Amino acid sequence: MDRRVFLAGSLAAAALPLVRASDFPSRPVRVISPYAAGGGPDVQLRQAGPVLGEILGQSIVIENKVGAAGVLAAQYVAQQPADGYTCLMGSNTHLIQKLLQPGLRFDPIGDFTPVSNLASSPTVLVVRADAPWRTARELIAGLKAQPAQSNYGSGGIGTSAHLAGATLASLAGLQVTHIPLKGSVEIAASLIRGDTQYAFPVAGTGIPQVQGGKLRALAVTSRKRLAQLPEVPTLQEVLGSELAVQESWFGLWAPARTPPAVVERLHAAVRQAAAQPALRASFEAVGNEAFADFVRSENRKWAAIIELAGITANS
């Protein structure tokens, strides 16, 4: 190791305040949500808030700071004191937006300390229920037979549906057009109208529409098949690429240089909350070190996906 790097790290560690886990928290903890109130991730966070507060012995105050696909919330938290009292609901969206817009005034890797993952959800490759394609391979063959005549929809540039759709097009060699819709709620309607031919809504919204007979599922972007759709293959099975494994996730991030004792206290609380029967089904807490490794690996993967598909902040 470079001696200068070692000394810099040692001095930085020495500069951190000595904090015991038992001293934290002594006042309410704020969690900044980049999602609109009532949205899926925001609802899950608010379900966990009271449980976390009871475990920590202080209130969890959830504040919505919506705008610029999560960028405003991230920039705000990155500038807060590194004491654990202001955290971010960080997600893969923050990695993607920084990759698409390198000039943004925050660094999802350097400006934050990952505390714990909370939940993740894959997307589902869907078509209209009466579409002629019954499998993902049939869809690929059908779109190849009519190049540059088909569209896929998403809730906007840089969303999980956008990247999944672009990944399928790139790996399968399709000539299709991306249609950014006003929001993810427009995906099903766009398919039913025939404006788009395929899409990748998140499982939480896509599966009910499949079960309700509006859409047909052809693949899922999880690593393993979903229990709700056991006959539907993974996109990785179809395409044979690790880049086809894509999940939207969110977790708790603290500002960089938050004392390790505080990070561990927060992580322990999340882990304990996730074990509660009321939250167990929707939350999955992992170790903060494992989560940090996961965030870094996800950053590399999304960078590879964006490069493969040639995605920019404007397309």
pLDDT digits (tens, 9 = 90+) for 172-216: 999 999 999 887 889 999 999 999 999 999 888 899 999 999 999
Q: What's the CA dihedral at 246, 247, 250, 256 to 10 degrees?
A: -20
Class of domain 124-244: alpha beta
AA identity, residue 147: P
Domains 29-121+247-309 and 124-244 share a fold: yes
Rounded Cα distance between 76 and 13, Å, is 24
pLDDT tens digits along 117-140 = 888 889 999 999 999 999 999 999
Rounded Cα distance between 156 and 199, Å, is 12
pLDDT by position in tens, the chain (length 315)? 333 332 233 333 334 444 555 689 999 999 999 887 766 677 888 888 999 999 999 999 999 998 887 899 999 999 999 999 999 999 998 999 999 999 999 999 999 999 998 888 899 999 999 999 999 999 999 999 999 999 999 988 888 899 999 999 999 999 999 999 887 889 999 999 999 999 999 888 899 999 999 999 999 999 999 999 999 999 999 999 999 999 989 899 999 999 999 999 999 999 998 888 777 666 654 445 678 899 999 999 999 999 999 999 887
pLDDT at 141: 98
Question: How much of the chain is in helix, strand and coil states, percent to nearest 5?
Answer: 45, 20, 35
The closest alpha carbon to 40, from 123, 157, 127, belongs to: 123
**Residues contacting residue 220 through CB under 8 Å, at least 6 positions apart:** 122, 123, 124, 125, 203, 226, 229, 232, 233, 234, 235
**For residues 42 and 64, is the Cβ–Cβ distance under 8 A?**
yes
Both structure tokens of 37: 């109130």
What is the chain's Cα-based Rg? 21
Query: Per residue in 8-24, is it b (16+ CB within 10 Å) or e — as a string?
Result: eeeeeeeeeeebeeeeb
The closest alpha carbon to 254, from 280, 300, 283, 291, belongs to: 291
Q: What Cα–Cα distance (Å) separates residue 102 from each residue in 99, 295, 311?
A: 6, 17, 13
Task: Check the CA dihedral 81-82-84-90 and report its sign.
Answer: positive
Both structure tokens of 195: 């404006």
Rounded Cα distance between 266 and 25, Å, is 9
pLDDT at 121: 87
Q: 134: left (phi > 0), else alpha (psi -120 to 50), else beta?
A: alpha
Class of domain 29-121+247-309: alpha beta
Query: Per residue in 116-126, is it b (16+ CB within 10 Å) or e — as a string?
Result: bbbbbbbbbbb
* 113 φ/ψ angles, rounded to the nearest 5 degrees: -110, 110
The closest alpha carbon to 259, from 9, 49, 24, 5, belongs to: 24
pLDDT at 1: 37
**For residues 205 and 184, is the Cβ–Cβ distance under 8 A?**
yes
**Residues contacting residue 35 through CB under 8 Å, at least 6 positions apart:** 41, 42, 64, 66, 70, 89
> Could you check whether the bond before residue 25 is cis, i.e. omega within 30 degrees of 0?
yes
Any idea where the domains of the chain sit in the sequence? 29-121+247-309, 124-244
